[in-house]
Amino acid sequence: METTKTKAKARPWLDPKRQCRELTQLDPRFMGMLYEALEAARAAGLDPIVIETYRTQKRQNYLYAQGRTRPGNKVTWTKNSKHIKRLAADVCPRVNGKIAWDRKDLFDRWGEIAETAGLSWGGRFRNYDGAHVQAQWA
């Protein structure tokens, strides 16, 4: 019998404070395209890491509250993210194994690669989101 505890362990992202990084939680078609984009990014030497894929509505609401009803900087502008529909992922380039948050040039390169692979890129959003990619049909 599966206990609540083992369930939580197998799917830690049911906790709204936790990120889900599993590609297998994504829409299969989007997952395939993302996989190709990641391969191309690796070939280009970006050392990409997936930091978030699927989000529960509960987690999206939790993130939306940050900087509004909860302290912190705003991290999202919507309660209706494509992450909830399993059609988005956040990917960061790394340098020497560390996420290169200050290297906009590398995030821009990731965006070019993702767009070449047929994805929409968050770098074109009104609020630049260089890590974010989503399905064009999302």
Task: Name which of 5 and 137 has its Cβ closer to Zn ion.
Answer: 137
Distance CA(70)–CA(131), nearest Å, equals 24
Per-residue x/- marks for Zn ion, 118-137, CB under 5 A? --------------x-----
Look up residue 19 and give its two tokens.
């990120």
Closest residue to bound Zn ion by CB? 132
Q: Which is nearer to Zn ion, 46 or 84 (CB)?
A: 84
Number of neighbours of residue 51 by Cβ within 10 angstroms: 13
Q: How far apart are CA 122 and CA 13, in angstroms?
A: 23
Stretch that binds Zn ion, among 1-9, 41-49, 90-98, 108-116 (CB under 5 A): 90-98
Q: Which is nearer to Zn ion, 46 or 91 (CB)?
A: 91
59: nearest Cα among 79, 45, 29:
79
Q: Which residue reads 């280009």 in tokens?
A: 44
- Among 90, 93, 111, 117, which residue interacts with Zn ion (rule: CB under 5 A)? 90
Residue 123: name the closest of 134, 26, 29 by CA.
134
- CB-nearer residue toward Zn ion: 46 or 50: 50
- Can you give the binding site for Zn ion, defined by CB under 5 A? 90, 132
